[in-house]
Amino acid sequence: MSNQLKQLAVYLPEVHCADCARDLAESVLLNKPGIKKVSFNDKEFILNVSFDEEVIDENNIRKLISDSGLKIHENNPPSPPFVKGGMGGRLINLLIISVIVVFLIVFVWWTRNL
């Protein structure tokens, strides 16, 4: 009998906050035998589940999540071209876009005045 816990990472882009993930964990996952720990990375939308595979397997965990109404995306999360997350991420994205626009304006002005 192994005491080693197996890890499952599930990409759930519909879950946008840690509170929603905690609700899912408490109401659906943590009350099932074999599931030991659930955490959520709200920057990458990854739900991490630590479980005892002698008691429950990955397919059962995925079914529990799907039955709760969430769609599991099998693909890895896409690499964002800009910063994600909250108001800070939006401000950084706005700053990046503003710098690009200013650069283009200066470039066009400079090339016309040569």
Residue written as token pair 């709760």: 68
pLDDT at 106 over 60: yes
Structural domain span for residue 39: 6-67
Residues 16 and 52 in one domain: yes
Mean pLDDT of the chain: 82
Pick the residue with more confidence: 30 or 90? 30
pTM more than 0.75: no
Let me know: does 60 contact 70? Beta carbons within 8 Å: no
Q: Are residues 62 and 33 in the same domain?
A: yes
* 3-state secondary structure (DSSP) of residue 94: helix
Tell me, what's the pLDDT at 66? Answer: 87
Is the same domain home to 62 and 109?
Answer: no
Total count of domains within the chain: 2
The C-alpha atoms of residue 16 and residue 11 are separated, in whole angstroms, by 11
Q: Does residue 73 lie within any of the structural domains?
A: no
Residue 61 and residue 18 share a domain: yes
